[in-house]
Amino acid sequence: MQNHAIKIKAVLDQTSLNPVEQTADLELKGHLDDKGKDVLEGKAVVIIDPLTGRALGASDFFQMTTFAHQADVALSQANPVSTTIYTVLPTTTNARLIGIAIQVTWATTQPTPLEVLINVDGQTVGCFVNNPVTATWYYCVINPNDPAQVMLTTNPSETRAFLLEGRSVSVTCRVTWAVTQPTPMVCRVKWARKS
């Protein structure tokens, strides 16, 4: 049995990447060099980050991303004016929304709808409930099958890790009614920030 010293030469070829499938590929071939030594040559095609155009290495896939839990943010708006947008979570970078709850208390004129507007990386998702029951908590739910998101009276955060996340996130709310009433609208956001 002979022992062979093997040199490994790898060439990175970003142009060979299939942009549709984003599949990584590794080709190896061996031959003898001019001194009679075995040479194993490899050609690696790696996954390219479509946002940065940078080749991704193993450390990019196994890098742990952690989020630090933040104190809840809450809005308690007395006498909310119809259709006025109130800020609950101002625009925040690298945020994860864990849960959002809202309620409005009314006495004489039922509002409709009660809405939460979530903006993630420039895209707005609106969660709403028509004819909300007074002093009842409603929870935002993201349903991929429905462009108009609804709110439920049961808290869905027990069955999922988080609601949404993004590089730029904000949460606002509003209520629409015929007569402004001296009653509060309360919205609470549980969230975390990438650390």
Question: In terms of domains, do 46 and 77 share one?
Answer: no
| pLDDT on residue 110 | 87
Task: Give the C-alpha separation, 141 to 155, whole Å.
Answer: 9
Do 131 and 156 fall within a single domain?
yes
pLDDT computed for residue 31 by the predictor:
73
- 54 & 79 share domain: no
40 & 127 share domain: no
**Does 128 score more than 50 pLDDT?**
yes
Q: What residues are paired with 92 via a beta bridge?
A: 169
Domain count, the chain: 2
Distance CA 151, CA 101 (A): 9
Tell me: the pLDDT tens digits for 43-96?
A: 665 666 666 666 666 555 555 578 899 999 999 999 999 999 999 999 999 999
pTM for this entry:
0.67
Distance CA 114, CA 4 (A): 74
Tell whether 36 and 110 lie within a shared domain.
no
For the ranges 15-19, 88-92, 95-99, which has the lowest average pLDDT? 15-19
| Pair (11, 91) in one structural domain | no
Full domain range(s) for residue 186: 67-194
Q: Is the pLDDT at 106 greater than 60, yes or no?
A: yes
Looking at the fold, whether 83 and 121 belong to one and the same domain comes out as yes
Beta carbons of 62 and 136 less than 8 angstroms apart: no
Q: Decide: 138 and 103 in contact? Cβ < 8 Å.
A: yes
54 and 148 belong to one structural domain: no
Contact 53, 15 (CB under 8 A): no
**114 and 30 in a common domain:** no
